[in-house]
Amino acid sequence: MSKPRLALFDFACCEGCQLQIVNMEEEILDLISVVHPVQWREAMSEQSEEYDIAVIEGSITRPEDEERLRRIRERSRFLIALGSCAATGGINNLKNQLNLKEAQRIVYGDAADMPHLDTDSTKSVDEVVLVDFKVLGCPIDQQEFAYIVRCLVLGKTPEIPTYPICVECKLQENTCRYEHGEICLGPITRAGCGARCPSQATWCFGCRGLSDEPNVYAAREVMDKYRKTPSDLEERMALFCSKPRYDHE
């Protein structure tokens, strides 16, 4: 049986998630034993338009990107959103919290009025097309990406944790970052990274997005216990865990 053909496409992002895949080194050979890459700008020069699995990195910020994404979806049997930018809008969502013109001025200064910089609100991939699987994280976890691709090839549904990071953190026996006077988003962030940041003595900034049923009550209790305020929490959530949309009209 021929291997499914995989094509990787990038939109608005830093391409760090692709780099994670490139850096899989020997493990990438295992992955290539189950899928056949046919388009991947960062890693190969061939560009076939015939593929079964489309992997989308980056968020969607321009009308022409929406059109390109829809064409990719039409050509593919399965579509994977790779990394926070694609899966949730990621760090690009910061733009949605500002007036669009103001955001452009902050980033591009005097060049902000150039026509090709006239972007729209940030959208996650599933706000434009149907997404079959999401690989969360900024950047993604290499093992989780390989696991999701293998599940897809085998026709299995990947099991992605629905519980919060705190569960993994407790299993690692880390000292809670709140004990160090920090605000950590572990109580409301989806697990799956093995509590990577608290295990390296830093707070979770929520890059995997909100867990299915974030335990807001428990988070509030923790905040009260350590004399933090809801606005402290909201400020920290601005990066990855909230998506207020400024009216850009």
The residue ranges that bind ligand SF4 (CB under 6 A) are 13-17, 57, 83-85, 90-91, 137-139, 165-166, 169-170, 174, 176-178, 184, 186-187, 189, 193, 195-198, 204-208
Backbone angles phi, psi at 28, to 5 degrees: -70, -30
CA distance 114 to 107: 12
Cβ at position 176, least distance to ligand SF4 in Å: 3
Specify the residue, 37 or 139, whose C-beta has the smaller distance to ligand SF4: 139
Specify the residue, 95 or 208, whose C-beta has the smaller distance to ligand SF4: 208
Type of residue found at 65:
D
Specify the residue, 37 or 206, whose C-beta has the smaller distance to ligand SF4: 206
Cβ at position 53, least distance to ligand SF4 in Å: 18
Cβ at position 167, least distance to ligand SF4 in Å: 8
Cβ at position 113, least distance to ligand SF4 in Å: 26
Type of residue found at 9:
F
Residue 4: asked if its preceding bond is cis (omega within 30°), the reply is: no
**Polymer length in residues for the chain:** 249
CA distance 6 to 102: 38
Q: Which residue is nearest to ligand SF4 (CB)?
A: 186
Q: How is residue 151 annotated by DSSP?
A: H
Cβ at position 93, least distance to ligand SF4 in Å: 11
66: helix, strand or coil = helix
Interacting residues of 34 by C-beta distance below 8 A, sequence separation 6+: 3, 4, 149, 150, 153
Backbone angles phi, psi at 78, to 5 degrees: -130, 150
Specify the residue, 60 or 193, whose C-beta has the smaller distance to ligand SF4: 193
Specify the residue, 15 or 120, whose C-beta has the smaller distance to ligand SF4: 15
CB atoms within 10 A of CB 17: 28
Cβ at position 243, least distance to ligand SF4 in Å: 15
Interacting residues of 107 by C-beta distance below 8 A, sequence separation 6+: none
Specify the residue, 4 or 140, whose C-beta has the smaller distance to ligand SF4: 140
